[in-house]
């Protein structure tokens, strides 16, 4: 049996703690320089504890607990990212399998990929006539590119040897797809998904600031209007932590599907 | 070689058509007929002709080796039989049909094994069997995989991924996979090139064992650049000229009796004669010229 607690994980914890302490010190320094205009860690901690004692309260549309806000953000990210992936993976497979399709679609990808999520927002509002739909729309359209590009790269780089196996033993189209194409490109697809979920989580804050109503982005904006900088700082830490956890989650998935190291 | 039965001798006298049929019966029908095949590829510097005007008949149950220097078009010729390449001119007839693409009547063992690394040993063979036999039950397919893996003594490793096997074991899986689809023709493209000498020798014997188990009915075509290997395994060795546009230089008959013994065969004068002949065909200079 493998030891769960070994010297390596001890080092990891020590480095992590060290890193947090440095962050806290910089934060405190900034707070002192700005003469407490930006609240320090201790001040923020008091507000943070308060927020987390009742994270799921709901006092009408403009006053919800931080837990509720986080849940609605995660839900939107999940939907937007899900729709994006459902478009990106099949399209990536098509682009990767055929040079013709690659050359046909690549310019579209190159033009649309660098567009800021905020620029898409009005189009989303126009199309869905609702802020909620528009937020999901911008997550979808900005998060699908890494998955699309990585999928098409993975599929287009399938070695000739593997393709020859399919040819020589007369694999059907479906068998080729499920036994050669997908298994080979899966690590690339998951790398794409990992980058995509990162983008989706970045975009959600901007999207919710514009759309209002609920979510962690809305919470930041609402706290600014209420001049509670402590709450904004807590929200920033939560956004960062959740982003890290999402990335770690995909890291685990990535390792589970990496056949190369097995 | 089969001996003639009385009826067969009788039919020999009947008529000319009957005669040719009888000869076919005795010598066996040709499994592969390469008819005036030229293969050219488009490249940056124009058209590159790999092989030119090659004609060759390979009989059923025969083992034939293609030998030659690197880039002499051995693999191209092989790929034309397997259907991976289409000839620019001429045609290949395998088992009575013009080759238009790869098919389950021709099993291929690739140079670098070409096992799918994400599938277990069992699955690698199962997927090939599943693609080649449409009308049998799943249970029968599983039995076929098991039989073939047992034949190469790898059944106890059937749940492993190819990455966990040695080179020799991988090659045995690749051979089991080619045998599992029960092809009439087996095509081996430098199958033992990546193996060390000891593993190579035992693989030669494994291959002949499988061929014997199958009553020597499978036709085997092999690409190699190893003279000893070619002589030990083959009935005929086809020596190719250097490319581009390579042709057949000479066909050397290996009339050594089977079963052949790896250890004894090298002392056989006939073996040495064939070995010398092949060496002369392949190598022009045997020492550095003295100026």
Tell me the nearest-neighbour CA distance from A166 into chain B, angstroms: 8
Residue B268 or B291, more confident: B268
The confidence score (pLDDT) of residue A188 equals 94
CB contact under 8 A, B82 and A168: yes
* CA–CA dist B96, B90 (Å, integer): 15
Burial B50-82 (b: 16+ CB within 10 A, else e): bbbebebebbbbbbbbbbbeeebbbbbbbbbbb
> Both tokens of residue A215?
């979510």
Residue B1 clears pLDDT 60, i.e. is over it: no
Residue B162 or B73, more confident: B162
Residue B253 clears pLDDT 80, i.e. is over it: yes
- Which of B84, B104, B161 minimises the CB distance to A164? B84
- Which of B102, B112, B163 minimises the CB distance to A168? B102
The confidence score (pLDDT) of residue B22 equals 55
What would the pLDDT profile of B204-241 be if each residue is shown by its tens digit? 888 888 888 878 888 999 999 889 999 999 999 999 88
Q: Are B99 and B80 in contact (CB under 8 A)?
A: yes
The confidence score (pLDDT) of residue B247 equals 87
Residue B17 clears pLDDT 50, i.e. is over it: yes
| Sign of CA pseudo-dihedral A122, A124, A129, A134 | negative
* CA–CA dist B105, B107 (Å, integer): 6
On whether any CB of chain B is under 8 Å from the CB of A174, the answer is no
* CA–CA dist B219, B82 (Å, integer): 13
Measured in residues, chain A has a length of 262
Render each residue's pLDDT in chain A as its tens digit; 262 residues: 455 667 888 888 899 999 999 999 999 999 999 888 888 888 888 888 888 887 777 777 667 788 888 998 999 999 999 999 999 999 999 999 999 999 999 999 999 999 998 899 888 888 888 888 899 999 999 999 999 999 999 999 999 889 989 988 889 999 999 999 999 999 999 999 999 999 999 999 989 888 877 888 888 988 888 888 888 999 999 999 999 999 999 999 888 887 765 5
B4: confidence class by pLDDT, cuts 50, 70, 90: low
User: How many Cβ pairs closer than 8 A exist between chain A and B?
Assistant: 57
Q: What is the pTM of this model?
A: 0.80
Q: Are A18 and A10 in contact (CB under 8 A)?
A: no
What would the pLDDT profile of B72-99 be if each residue is shown by its tens digit? 888 889 999 999 888 998 999 988 888 8
The confidence score (pLDDT) of residue B47 equals 87
3-state secondary structure chain B: CCCCCHHHHHHHHHCHHHHHHHHHHHHCCEEEEEEEEEEEEEECCEEEEEEEEEEEEEECCCEEEEECCCCCCHHHHHHHHHCCCCCCEEEEEECCEECCCCCCCEEEECCCCCCCCCCCHHHHHHHHHHHHCCCCCHHHHHHHHHHHHHHCCCHHHCCCCHHHCCHHHHHHHHHHHHHHCCCCEEEEECCCCCCCHHHHHHHHHHHHHHHHHCCCCCEEEEEECCHHHHHHHCCEEEEECCCCCECEEEEEECCCCCCCCHHHHCCCHHHHHHHHHHHHHHCCCCCCCCC
What would the pLDDT profile of B96-149 be if each residue is shown by its tens digit? 888 888 888 898 898 888 899 999 999 999 999 999 888 889 999 999 999 889
Phi, psi of A211 (to 5 degrees): -80, -30
Q: Are B109 and B190 in contact (CB under 8 A)?
A: no
The confidence score (pLDDT) of residue A222 equals 87
B289: confidence class by pLDDT, cuts 50, 70, 90: low
Which domains are present in chain B? 61-84+100-244+253-282 (3.40.50.300)
Residue B16 clears pLDDT 70, i.e. is over it: no
The confidence score (pLDDT) of residue A25 equals 93
Neighbours of A140 (CB within 10 A): 23
Closest A-chain CA to B177: A169
Residue B12 clears pLDDT 70, i.e. is over it: no
Q: Which chain B residues contact residue A169 at CB under 8 A?
A: 102, 104, 127-128, 131-132, 177, 181
Write the ipTM. 0.76
Residue B259: asked if its preceding bond is cis (omega within 30°), the reply is yes
Q: Are B91 and B98 in contact (CB under 8 A)?
A: yes
* CA–CA dist A237, A19 (Å, integer): 14
Place of tokens 């996979």: B177
Phi-psi region of B38 (alpha: psi -120 to 50; beta: other; left: phi over 0): beta
A58: three-class secondary structure by DSSP: strand
Closest A-chain CA to B165: A262
The confidence score (pLDDT) of residue A1 equals 47
Q: Which chain B residues contact residue A167 at CB under 8 A?
A: 84, 101-102
CB contact under 8 A, A175 and B102: no
Tell me the nearest-neighbour CA distance from A160 into chain B, angstroms: 10
Residue B285 or A232, more confident: A232
Q: What is the CA radius of gyration of chain A?
A: 23
């Amino acid at each position: 049996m493998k030891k769960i607690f070994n010297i390596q994980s001890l080092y990891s914890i020590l480095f992590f703690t060290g890193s947090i302490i440095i962050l806290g010190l910089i934060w405190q320094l900034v707070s002192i320089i700005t003469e407490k205009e930006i609240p320090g860690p201790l001040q923020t901690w008091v507000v943070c504890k308060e927020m987390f004692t009742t994270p799921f309260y709901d006092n009408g549309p403009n006053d919800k607990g931080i837990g509720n806000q986080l849940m609605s953000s995660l839900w939107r990210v999940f939907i937007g990212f899900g729709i994006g992936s459902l478009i990106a993976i099949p399209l990536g497979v098509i682009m990767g399998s055929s040079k013709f399709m690659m050359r046909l679609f690549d310019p579209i990808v190159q033009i649309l990929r660098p567009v800021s999520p905020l620029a898409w927002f009005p189009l989303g509002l126009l199309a869905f006539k609702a802020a909620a739909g528009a937020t999901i729309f911008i997550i979808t359209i900005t998060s699908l590119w890494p998955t699309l590009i990585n999928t098409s790269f993975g599929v287009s780089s399938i070695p000739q040897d593997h393709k020859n196996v399919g040819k020589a033993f007369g694999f059907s189209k479906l068998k080729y797809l499920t036994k050669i194409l997908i298994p080979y490109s899966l690590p690339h697809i998951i790398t794409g998904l990992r980058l995509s979920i990162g983008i989706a989580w970045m975009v959600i804050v901007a999207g919710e600031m514009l759309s209002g109503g609920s979510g962690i982005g809305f919470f930041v904006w609402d706290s600014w209007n209420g001049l509670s900088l402590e709450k904004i700082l807590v929200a920033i830490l939560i956004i960062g932590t959740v982003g890290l956890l999402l990335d770690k989650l995909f890291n685990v998935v990535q390792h589970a599907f990496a056949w190369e190291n097995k | 070689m089969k001996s003639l039965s009385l009826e067969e001798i009788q039919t020999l006298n009947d008529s000319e058509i009957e005669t040719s049929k009888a000869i076919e019966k005795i010598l066996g029908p040709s499994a592969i007929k390469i008819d005036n095949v030229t293969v050219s590829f488009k490249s940056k510097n124009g058209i590159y002709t790999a092989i030119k005007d090659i004609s060759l008949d390979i009989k059923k149950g025969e083992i034939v080796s293609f030998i030659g220097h690197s880039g002499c078009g051995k693999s191209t010729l092989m790929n034309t039989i397997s259907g991976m390449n289409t000839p620019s001119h001429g045609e290949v007839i395998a088992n009575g049909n013009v080759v238009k693409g790869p098919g389950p009547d021709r099993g291929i063992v690739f140079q670098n094994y070409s096992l799918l690394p994400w599938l277990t040993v069992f699955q690698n063979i199962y997927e090939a069997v599943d693609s080649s036999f449409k009308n049998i039950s799943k249970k029968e397919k599983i039995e076929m995989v098991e039989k073939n893996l047992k034949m190469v003594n790898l059944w106890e490793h059937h749940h492993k991924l190819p990455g966990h096997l040695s080179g020799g074991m991988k090659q045995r899986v690749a051979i089991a996979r080619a045998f599992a689809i029960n092809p009439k023709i087996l095509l081996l493209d430098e199958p033992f090139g990546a193996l060390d000498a000891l593993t190579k020798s035992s693989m030669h014997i494994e291959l002949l064992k499988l061929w014997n188990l199958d009553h020597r009915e499978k036709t085997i075509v092999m690409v190699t650049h190893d003279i000893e290997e070619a002589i030990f395994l083959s009935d005929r060795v086809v020596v190719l000229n250097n490319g581009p546009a390579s042709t057949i230089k000479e066909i050397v008959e290996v009339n050594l009796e089977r079963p052949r013994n790896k250890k004894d065969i090298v002392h056989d004068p006939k073996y040495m004669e064939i070995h010398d002949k092949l060496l002369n065909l392949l190598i022009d200079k045997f020492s550095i010229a003295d100026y």
